[in-house]
Amino acid sequence: MLRLWRATINSGRGLRFAFRSERAFREEVAALLLGIPLALLIGTTPMRRLELVAVILMLLVIELLNTAIEKLSDRLTRENDPQIAAVKDMGSAAVGIMMVIAGLVWAFAVAERLGIV
């Protein structure tokens, strides 16, 4: 039980750090806060509503991982290292791909709500 408590404390610290230090994370939290009520309006079923919120949460998870990669890479060296640059670019690409996935899920849900699909 103590391990679970400590993990919860560490998670909270990580979320606070990301929120304070990363503009992209703050923007994605804003998208989540806006997305929750919109999901209730747009989703045609409880499962669709859950999916709409889940894709935003998945985006936050990937953004956290990308931020961790960037912070660790910057801690290793500030010099221009092509391999570190490639790793950072891959993290950024993961965020970009998740944004596309989230956009497609939301677009499908809107089309479904409008009776297009």
Q: What is the pTM of this model?
A: 0.92
pLDDT tens for each residue of 1-32: 999 999 999 999 999 999 999 999 999 999 99
Residue among 68, 42, 67, 71 at smallest CA distance from 55: 42
Q: CA-based angle 75:18:14, to the nearest 5? A: 85
Query: Is 19 buried (19+), middle (13-18) or exposed (0-12) by CB count in 10 A?
Result: exposed
Contacts of 70 (CB under 8 A, 6+ apart): 88, 91
- Note the pLDDT tens digit of each residue in 74-106: 999 888 899 999 999 999 999 999 999 999 999
Catalytic residue list: 63
Domains and CATH numbers, the chain: 2-114 (1.10.287.3610)
Q: Residue 5 has which token pair?
A: 């408590």
